[in-house]
Amino acid sequence: MPYTLPQGFQIGNQDPIDSRITVADAGARKGFSVNNVFEGLIVYQQNTDELYVLTDPANVDTDAAWSKIETTSGSSG
């Protein structure tokens, strides 16, 4: 059941507000329950300093379900 927050909320510590945001390694990233993920979930993997997006929530435990978000360095404009 969703909660309505009329004025938002303030975080009072340095922990992520959602335990799915940051994981230790690929095993933890692929270890989520299919009942606790969604297409578009973005996860930071600490041991490799990489970001992943979940593209196939039905197969969260496979490498094919995740796409690494590539970054480029440099300036635009």
CA distance 39 to 49: 21
**pLDDT for position 2:** 75
| Whole-Å CA distances, 61 to 8, 67, 69, 77 | 33, 13, 18, 39
**pLDDT for position 18:** 80
**Does 77 have pLDDT greater than 70?**
no
**Does 21 have pLDDT greater than 80?**
yes
The residues with which 4 forms a beta bridge, in sequence order, are: none
> Is the pTM above the cut of 0.85?
no
For the stretch 29-69, pLDDT in tens is 999 999 999 999 999 999 999 999 999 999 999 999 999 99
pLDDT band at 23 (very low <50, low <70, confident <90, very high): very high
**Does 75 have pLDDT greater than 70?**
no
Task: Indicate the SS3 state at residue 57.
Answer: helix
